[in-house]
């Protein structure tokens, strides 16, 4: 019995990943999901976070920043605004972005778009977390 399924992670710039997996884990707006072959068909909104691609004993981790997921029996497609591998992360830049976002939230004024500042903080924290997988 076939356990693997096709996985594609596509961004506006590139086909980020094209391969197979026997388990794919990622975040949706409803929570974390793990997908095996023959999962029920589902289209859902991606929540920014880490994506883990399992293939046998191997594991690849990437980050996605918003988008959509389409799950079919033998294929999962993630359409993401941005996707990054650990080696693509500039840790110093991510740390600086985290500090800026935290400062904006802490010293908020009437002109601050709080949701935007919180999103920037969340994005920076995802990148910092992903950098640990180098």
- Look at residue 126 in the predicted model and tell me its pLDDT: 96
* CA distance linking residue 61 with residue 86, whole number of Å: 7
Q: Is the pLDDT of residue 113 over 90?
A: no
- Look at residue 24 in the predicted model and tell me its pLDDT: 98
Average pLDDT over residues 49-59: 96
- Look at residue 117 in the predicted model and tell me its pLDDT: 87
Considering the chain, tell me which residue range(s) the CATH 2.60.15.10 domain(s) occupy. Answer: 5-84
Q: What is the CATH number of domain 5-84?
A: 2.60.15.10
Average pLDDT over residues 41-59: 96
Q: What is the CATH number of domain 89-131?
A: 1.20.5.440
Considering the chain, tell me which residue range(s) the CATH 1.20.5.440 domain(s) occupy. Answer: 89-131
More confident: 11 or 109: 11
Write out the two tokens for 116: 């935007």
* CA distance linking residue 105 with residue 19, whole number of Å: 40
- pTM to 2 decimal places: 0.89
């Amino acid at each position: 019995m076939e356990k693997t399924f096709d996985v594609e992670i596509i961004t506006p710039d590139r086909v980020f990943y094209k391969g197979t997996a026997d388990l794919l884990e990622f975040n949706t707006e409803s929570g974390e999901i793990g997908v095996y072959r023959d999962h029920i068909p589902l289209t859902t909104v991606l929540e920014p976070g880490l994506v883990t691609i399992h293939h046998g004993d191997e594991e690849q981790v990437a980050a996605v920043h918003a988008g959509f997921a389409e799950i079919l029996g033998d294929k999962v497609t993630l359409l993401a605004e941005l996707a990054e591998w650990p080696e693509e992360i500039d840790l110093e830049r991510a740390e600086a972005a985290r500090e800026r976002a935290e400062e904006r939230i802490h010293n908020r004024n009437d002109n601050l778009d709080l949701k935007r500042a919180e999103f920037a903080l969340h994005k920076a924290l995802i990148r910092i977390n992903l950098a640990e997988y180098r």
